[in-house]
Amino acid sequence: MKATFSLGRVAGIRIGVHWSVLAIIAVLALGLAARFPDAYPDRPPWQYWLTGLLAALVFMLSLLCHEMSHALVARRNGVEVEDITLWLLGGMARLKSEAPTPAAEVRIAGVGPLVSLLLGVLFGFLAVLSGALYGAGLVVEALAWLAGINVLLALFNALPAAPLDGGRLLRALVWRATGDPLRATAVAAGAGRTLGWLLVGVGVYLVLVGPAFSGFWFVILGLFLITIATAEGGQAKLRELLGGVTVGQAMGRDPVTVPASMTVAEFLQAPEFRYRHSAFPVVDEADRPVGMVSAKAAAGLPEGERDATVGSVMVPLDDVPTPHPGDPLVRLLPELGSSPTQRALVVEDGRVVGVVTTSDVSRVTSWLASTDPGRGRAL
């Protein structure tokens, strides 16, 4: 899920928002504004709408706190964080790698529901305090709703099914018991698919005989769980298939490099860069890698500005994975998928010795599956 626009950085972590957040804020604000008059009639309509909108915005901040807790604990446990994106069904913190140990997995996964639960308690306390000081009113009603929705979020996320936080906890327990992280992922993914189909069934039932709107959301949530859990299970089988394969075995060797000082116009016109690849490593005067440039990004520069250097339009090295040829290929997969260029520069002794693309991974996977029937069936 890619962000539509950015909110900047918090604690060095990029925060993005998908356009669907605007839809969920509108739905929540509408629902609350329609609910408030039943408890507190004869108020001006703008008060219902303003209170509902503020409550919806505070709930989104609660979701951000939930995801930030995952990101910060992950970083403390040696796992790099790509970014956080808020979207229709909540939030998602993208991690560049998996937890190194079951204990780290427990800490990273467990902190999210704990934060939501604590927020629920905090909002409940504020609701009681506000009621005691100022009496019942829209503010108390909104705080009570925030308390209940955060507690509900904590309980739902604690369910032992991937990709929920409880699924991560289940994976950690199975991992610790069996010593096999791949088997643990398969168990958590299976539980996620089961829960997803259960939610779909409940949703269909509600659409037919109950509140159709609630049933619709159950179906959407169930399908989301099924999709993500299935993807995680597939990734686990892929990691099993690629076990023992190194980056050097999958990479394309001796790639053509582009000098950072070359102009964009020269890059687009030079015959050695045409038709061969869609992106190239960029190197400095000492032949050290400094980034990667794509033909699409270069061609997107207006013709009047193409006297700029390739270095000005490249993806910097900090945003490109740079594995060693001897590194396990499976460890590169999360970074490769999140890389802006979908490529990794393989670096040895400060020099680019190869490039790994998602197509290279697919080629190796297909070859392994076709030459080893047992491993092929595992996929």
Give the angle 205-207-212 at the CA atoms, nearest 5°. 140
Q: How far apart are CA 82 and CA 190, in angstroms?
A: 26
Active site residue 232: no
Q: What are phi and psi of 280, to 5 degrees?
A: -135, 150
Provide the sign of the torsion angle of the four alpha carbons 165, 146, 60, 10, taken in this order.
negative
**Helices 45-76 & 20-39, crossing angle to 10 degrees?**
130
Tokens of 82: 């790509």
Mapped onto helix, strand or coil, the DSSP state of residue 85 is strand
The b/e string for 275-290 (b: 16+ C-beta within 10 A; e otherwise) is eebebbbbbeeeeebb
User: Exactly one of 67, 98, 105, 141 is catalytic; which is it?
Assistant: 67
Residues in contact with 243: Cβ distance below 8 Å, sequence separation at least 6, in sequence order: 328, 330
The b/e string for 354-374 (b: 16+ C-beta within 10 A; e otherwise) is bbbbeebbeebbeebbeeeee
Q: Which residue has the tokens 């626009």?
A: 5
Tokens of 296: 């699409």
In 3D space, the residue among 7, 120, 121, 140 whose CA is nearest the CA of residue 62 turns out to be 120
Distance of CA 175 to the CA centre of its chain: 22
Catalytic positions, please?
67
